[in-house]
Amino acid sequence: MAATESWLPVFGYGGHIKATTHEVVIVQGSATRRYPLQAVRHLLIVGGHTLHTSAVTNLLKAGAVITFFDIDGTPVGYLYPYGYRPDEAVRFAQERAAPHRFAQPLATAGLQSRLLLLEELYDRAGQDIFYAGELDFLYQAREELSVSVTMEDLRRLSRLTADMYYEILSRALPPELGFRRRTSRPYLDPVNAMFSLGYAMLYGNCCVALIGAHLDPDLGMLHEGAGSFVHDLIEPQKAVMVDRAVIRFAREEIGDGDYECGEKRCYLDANLSARLVAALRDSIDQSRIDAQVRILRDALLANAEFHVLYW
């Protein structure tokens, strides 16, 4: 995260966060990061860290906000300076925005990113992972998404093509892992469990960026309900930031001793989870997420062009 960003996230565990009247200092392991105090308008603390009262006092005096998240990126609370007012212009612009303007490019980019990954797998698999007509259908759906005029059509096609995508993915993975499609909790196979872990990490990173920009994570454009705007943001990022890593683990990294599946749930071994988390830290690009949030915010506030970064 560059020091010029107005929101500054600290992820993971074990960090030490201090501040003087001039700078914020974050120490994590052997790395030390320093930011001018006035450049940090919103400190976002994700996971477990040591927060010195010097940081709290100096940031609040400077008019900054501190938001706390659990390790999965779910917001749990805020600290505001006396007299603080959130950036109501951003929330108001989000509330009055026409959802279709944002939902259409988000849905189209989500499908396009998945198509690119499927084509990448097809080139490497040495076998045809598509049934007759599937690829043509997905291409046609992409064209329909780009011209769909109703939110109902956008949401229907987005759900349908996502379901197809996971079923096609299953043919490129070892059948003994038991993955056939994306399911809801509880997960009965290790691939769904790995997807869940990856999507939780991606969700957390995106939620942090949205809240840092004063956007409402529950006021979505394409999706609806709690966390819907976060789901809007992560949909085009899943394929490259999470799915590619999970597929590699499923095909090359996972062994019989790395998971245990019963009738009610599949559990990932701690070592496998740690290795996957390390890989996901490399593949989840926070700078691109932050850039996408800035594009969203500028489109809402200044009617700037909205486009999606997805590959």
Question: Nearest-CA neighbor of 118 among 169, 167, 181, 162?
Answer: 169
| Residues of each annotated binding site | 223, 235
Which tokens is 40 given?
């940090």
Neighbouring CB atoms inside 10 A of 242's CB total: 25
Q: Residue 289 and residue 231: Cα distance in Å, rounded? A: 13
Inter-CA distances, 32 with 16, 28, 50, 283, Å: 9, 6, 14, 22
Q: Please state whether beta strands 65-69 and 75-79 pair in parallel, antiparallel, or not at all (unpaired).
A: antiparallel
Half-sphere exposure of 93 (CA within 13 A, CB side): 17
| Residues of each annotated binding site for Mn(2+) | 223, 235
* Torsion-angle region of 173 (φ positive above 0: left; ψ -120 to 50: alpha; else: beta): beta
Q: Residue 216 and residue 228: Cα distance in Å, rounded? A: 9
